């Protein structure tokens, strides 16, 4: 209550005080002025009086500017869920399940074999316990158990790393696309950690693998109007109730790629956190291709002919993703690229569109703007396409490939496993800029740009702690 009153009244009191000071000073000036004529008043003010008046005006304008200036959003720290080793799904086990469950569909079995071999996933990716049974045994209770295991573990790690008390959290956002129970996942978190009754809680569903960056964008706007606040974003995807049990090839692929995972991220607008927080948020750019029917339908949850529910992936998915990225780049490039790159892009565009020269489109060198790239680990083909489109090196996409290999496609949380990989390798330096790129159904392409505030040493904690020494691998 005190905090709310402070947020509401202090800025207004500052403005009112300054305005009153201006009127009082003006009245004093006028009282001692040799003339009562308003037209000659300013002509007879002393230099000290003019200086005082200008100072008051300057202070007033600066105060108004500071109050209107967007607050810097700081990422204090984040924690990624590390599945227990008992839930691993090595190649042999995945193939065995495919051969048993799809025994009457040899072509589907051959398809699964081929996709697993080409997937880019390693031997340590994990699935929740119900999906280890033959046949799988998903139910609401098991889905709740997976939610609690992933989210509570990540939250415990976050609070331990930061020392922040759950009751200090002012804003909570949970994003999970396919599992939307009642009470919501955000309510589950509030109950578990006994958070305050006036916490601002949000639960996002149905927004695909890019929902994590949508949550960051939502937090950014909320923190602009709630000063001196802490916010937690939880990004996850609950796999238990969403395993496809049919034989349609376009719907079998998500079974191969998606794995357990989740991340909890602590953000704030407290200026006192500038030296302690890991990153500052520079930009969030969201691109939505939903108006285009082809883009809208390229990833969808639906039933097959036999009534089995699953996620269908359209063959045009890679082309649509590339087109969405182009639109996103058009917006973000002027915000981050140096002037030389922007000029080359504009000259190329004019040459092709205005003068009709036979030129290839100029792809800006984003390595002049960013030190690290975190591309959504949606699959090997996604990473390949983005690497080719942005002309990135193998080292630039290393974090994405290694995250896919070690943890699989963990949906919206994959970007945080990738950032964790860069940190675990000891590559993050003060002043480095990070570009996170997420893709999701709808179809959406979202970007976030972060700047590192301090040197980040490789730690022995986190999801990568026990395996980082083995990476990168071919």
Catalytic residue numbers read 209, 288, 372, 376, 405, 409
Contact status, residue 273 vs residue 74, Cβ threshold 8 Å: yes
Give Cβ neighbours of residue 86 (< 8 Å, ≥ 6 apart): none
φ and ψ of 433, to 5 deg = -115, 140
List % helix, strand, coil for the chain (3-state, nearest 5): 50, 15, 35
The helix (run of H) or strand (run of E) holding residue 232 is strand 230-236
Q: Assess contact for 298 and 185: CB atoms under 8 A.
A: no
Q: Please give the Cα distance from 440 to 418 (Å, whole number).
A: 17
Tokens of 264: 């909890």
> What is the helix (H) or strand (E) element at residue 191, kind and residue range?
helix 185-193
- In angstroms, rounded to a whole number, what is the distance separating the alpha carbons of residues 160 and 150? 16
Contact predicate 222/70, CB 8 Å: no
Q: Pick from 113, 413, 135, 109: which is nearest to 258 by CA?
A: 413
> Residue 171: what are its φ and ψ, rounded to 5°?
-135, 135
Pick left, alpha or beta for residue 148 (phi over 0 → left; psi -120 to 50 → alpha; otherwise beta): alpha
């Amino acid at each position: 209550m005190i905090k709310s009153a402070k947020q509401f009244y202090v800025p207004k009191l500052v403005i009112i005080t300054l305005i009153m000071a201006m009127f009082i000073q003006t009245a004093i000036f006028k009282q001692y002025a040799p003339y009562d004529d308003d037209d000659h008043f300013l002509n007879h003010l002393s230099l000290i009086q003019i200086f005082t008046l200008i100072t008051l005006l300057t202070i007033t304008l600066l105060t108004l500017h500071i109050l209107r200036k967007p607050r810097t959003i700081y990422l204090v720290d984040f924690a990624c869920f590390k599945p227990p080793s008992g839930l691993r799904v090595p190649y042999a086990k995945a193939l065995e399940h495919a051969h048993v469950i799809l025994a009457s569909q040899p072509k589907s079995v051959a398809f699964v074999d081929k996709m697993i071999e080409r997937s880019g996933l390693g031997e340590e990716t994990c699935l929740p316990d119900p999906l280890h049974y033959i046949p799988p045994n998903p139910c609401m209770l098991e889905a709740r158990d997976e939610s609690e295991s992933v989210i509570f573990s990540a939250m415990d790690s976050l609070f331990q790393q930061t020392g922040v008390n759950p009751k200090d959290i002012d804003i909570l956002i949970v994003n999970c696309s396919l599992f939307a129970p009642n009470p919501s996942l955000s309510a589950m978190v509030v109950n578990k950690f006994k958070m305050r009754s006036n916490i601002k809680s949000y639960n996002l569903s149905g927004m695909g693998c890019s929902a994590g960056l949508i949550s960051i964008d939502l937090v950014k706007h909320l923190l602009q109007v709630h000063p001196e606040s802490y916010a937690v974003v939880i990004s996850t995807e609950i796999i238990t109730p969403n395993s496809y049990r049919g034989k349609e090839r376009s719907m079998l692929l998500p079974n191969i790629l998606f794995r357990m995972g989740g991340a909890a991220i602590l953000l704030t607008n407290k200026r006192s956190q500038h030296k302690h927080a890991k990153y500052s948020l520079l930009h969030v750019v969201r691109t939505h291709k939903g108006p285009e029917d082809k883009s809208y339908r390229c990833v969808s949850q639906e039933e097959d002919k036999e009534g089995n529910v699953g996620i269908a992936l359209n063959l045009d998915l890679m082309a649509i993703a590339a087109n969405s990225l182009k639109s996103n780049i058009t917006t973000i490039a002027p915000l981050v690229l140096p002037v030389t790159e922007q000029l080359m892009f504009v000259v190329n565009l004019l040459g092709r569109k205005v003068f009709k020269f036979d030129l290839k489109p100029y792809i800006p060198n984003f390595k002049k703007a960013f030190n690290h790239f975190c591309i959504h680990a949606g699959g090997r083909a996604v990473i390949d396409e983005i690497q080719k489109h942005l002309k990135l090196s193998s080292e630039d996409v290393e974090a994405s490939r290694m995250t896919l290999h070690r943890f699989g496609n963990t949906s919206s949380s994959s970007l945080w496993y990738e950032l964790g990989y860069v940190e675990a390798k000891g590559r993050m330096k003060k002043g480095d800029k990070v570009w996170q790129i997420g893709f999701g159904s709808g179809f959406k392409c979202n970007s976030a740009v972060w700047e590192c505030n301090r040197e980040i040493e490789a730690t022995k904690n986190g999801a990568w702690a026990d395996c980082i020494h083995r990476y990168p691998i071919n």
